[in-house]
Structure 1
Amino acid sequence: MNTPSAAGARAGGRFGRQAEAGRNDLLVLAAARAVFAEQGAEAPVSAIAERAGVGIGTLYRRYGSKVQLLQRLCAVGIAQTTEALRQALDEGGSGWEALARYMARAVEVRAGAFASLAGTFPVPEEVAVANERAKGLLERLLERGLADRTVREDVTALDITHVIELFSRYPRRTEEDDHARRRMLALTLDGLRGGHAGLPGPRPDWREYDRTWDDAGARWAGPGAGLPGPPGAESQKSLPS
């Protein structure tokens, strides 16, 4: 007989399992981002499960292949980047202050952790579209700093992207690592202030950067060996994350 208390217990158990699954997913994503940032696309799935503190079966039940996991991480990273950009654009202060806040947030969540994986997995169309929107927001944020002359005039949005990518790969194993990363980022941000000039070499070009994300299907190799490919891969194309 189904009593109200029994039905409530079943519902509570279901919601409890869903909550646990959600927590495990967050643990897996955080661990995967760290492992891929440190070891590259060849990192074993077992290392991700170990870092997350979950069984490898939990990971495989959620993501059928390493490609799917990378695609999910890419989507999450762009969403976090977009949110950080919008916050920076909405906040007050000088253009440099807004840019510095955005960069600190982006580095904290390792928004550029996947630059070294460019071209090794196909990026779904909707993620590529979201990325183009994020690039537009970054251009707007930089223009604000250039307009009020608080940001050096020879810096580009792609320069900012490269800085975030470099700091996103910085080791984070100890408190000393975190302290060193924050100090180096503070030094870098100070170098973006208006009044500096003379960056070496030509201005970086988005088109060249974008090409590194092309032909993922042809370049995809070891990371997904022995695992099923993502559904609908034939309709996906590779674009910057």
Structure 2
Amino acid sequence: MTSSRSWRSEEVARNDRALLRAAREVLAVDGAHASVASIAARAGLGVGSLYRRYRTKEELFKRLCLIALREYLDAATEGLAMDDPWEGVMHYAMASIRSGPASLASVAGTFELTDEMIELAGQSDRAVSRLVERAHQAKVLRAGVTPVDLELLIEQLSKSPLQEQLQRQGRTELDDAARNARQRVITIALDGLRAVPAGPVPGRPPGYELFAVRWAPSADGAQPPE
């Protein structure tokens, strides 16, 4: 009995992770109009499984936002615990970019914020302000850069039109090249925040095939949706 209950709990947790991951991915492409059916299909589950966990799409969006807010606060707190102020800022930036705030920007204003969300956002804002202030005091952050500048840059860099399009086209053979190219662009952009000259750009120089292949007909002859 205990084993059966444990297995069921693990399955519920696994399905929940799949739904949350799928919702972020679908939101990144379809925005707030993303359908419940699309999210469930992306997760490899039925619509009924989604509604058993989240009664409404709004409830799912709220859950995603709460998770993201906790991740941002954790990343900022970890950055402040680092001895090197520049590394602290970069830790927060990279962790937040991986979290993908751009995928959630589309749901802004579609529901009422809870007290918990407001409190977490305030804590995160204060922590990021301390990160930026500390970096300025150490003279490692470009003069004039504000916490809002940093947050807006993170939001821009958390979305990758190239990767999204290649995924939609099923061009899996270019996954590694696309990830490499994105990492280079992120590094180049974040290095622009430095008060001192940056080091070499990481990874391999990307090739123009990343653009050309998107214009080539699909191998299966699939047509774009009307």
TM-score of the superposition, structure 1-length normalised? 0.73
Is it true that 1:33 corresponds to 2:33 in the alignment? no
Cα RMSD between the aligned structures? 1.5
Q: 1:12 aligns with which of 3, 23, 29?
A: 3
- Decide whether the 8 Å contact of 2:27 with 2:106 is kept in 1: no
- Decide whether the 8 Å contact of 2:22 with 2:39 is kept in 1: yes
- Decide whether the 8 Å contact of 2:86 with 2:135 is kept in 1: yes
Provide the C-alpha distance between the structure 2 equivalents of 1:112 and 1:76, rounded to a whole number of angstroms.
14
Q: 1:132 aligns with which of 122, 127, 131?
A: 122
- Higher mean alpha-carbon deviation, 173-182 vs 11-20, is at 173-182
Which residue matches 1:211?
none
- Decide whether the 8 Å contact of 2:61 with 2:107 is kept in 1: no
In the superposition, relative to structure 1, how do residues 175 and 123 fare at CA in structure 2: closer, same or farther (>3 Å)?
farther
- Decide whether the 8 Å contact of 1:37 with 1:168 is kept in 2: no
Is it true that 1:73 corresponds to 2:74 in the alignment? no
Provide the C-alpha distance between the structure 1 equivalents of 2:103 and 2:54, rounded to a whole number of angstroms.
20
Letter in 2 for 1:154: G
Alignment deviations for residues 162-195 of structure 1 (CA, whole Å, 9 cap, x no partner): 1111122224433333222211110011100015
Q: 2:90 aligns with which of 96, 100, 109?
A: 100
- Decide whether the 8 Å contact of 2:140 with 2:194 is kept in 1: yes
Within 5 Å, which residues of 2 pair with 1:114-153?
114-153=104-143
- Decide whether the 8 Å contact of 1:112 with 1:161 is kept in 2: no
Which residue matches 1:188?
189
Letter in 1 for 2:106: S
Letter in 2 for 1:51: R
Within 5 Å, which residues of 2 pair with 1:206-217?
none
Which residue matches 1:63?
54
Q: 1:159 aligns with which of 144, 149, 152?
A: 149
Which has a greater percent of helix? 2
Letter in 2 for 1:86: T
Provide the C-alpha distance between the structure 1 equivalents of 2:34 and 2:24, rounded to a whole number of angstroms.
11
Q: Secondary structure at the match of 1:114?
A: helix
TM-score of the superposition, structure 2-length normalised? 0.78
Which residue matches 1:82?
73
Is it true that 1:53 corresponds to 2:54 in the alignment? no
Identity of aligned residues (%): 35
Alignment deviations for residues 24-74 of structure 1 (CA, whole Å, 9 cap, x no partner): 101111111111122100011111112211222111110011100000000
In the superposition, relative to structure 1, how do residues 129 and 14 fare at CA in structure 2: closer, same or farther (>3 Å)?
same
In the superposition, relative to structure 1, how do residues 124 and 177 fare at CA in structure 2: closer, same or farther (>3 Å)?
farther
Which residue matches 1:208?
none
Provide the C-alpha distance between the structure 1 equivalents of 2:41 and 2:142, rounded to a whole number of angstroms.
44
- Higher mean alpha-carbon deviation, 14-23 vs 120-129, is at 120-129
Provide the C-alpha distance between the structure 2 equivalents of 1:60 and 1:116, rounded to a whole number of angstroms.
22
Provide the C-alpha distance between the structure 2 equivalents of 1:111 and 1:80, rounded to a whole number of angstroms.
11
Deviation of 1:112 (Å): 4.3
- Decide whether the 8 Å contact of 1:36 with 1:43 is kept in 2: yes
Provide the C-alpha distance between the structure 1 equivalents of 2:27 and 2:113, rounded to a whole number of angstroms.
16
Provide the C-alpha distance between the structure 2 equivalents of 1:78 and 1:143, rounded to a whole number of angstroms.
21
Q: Which runs of 5+ in 2 are unaligned?
A: 168-174, 198-226
Q: Which runs of 5+ in 1 are unaligned?
A: 1-9, 197-241
- Decide whether the 8 Å contact of 2:72 with 2:124 is kept in 1: yes
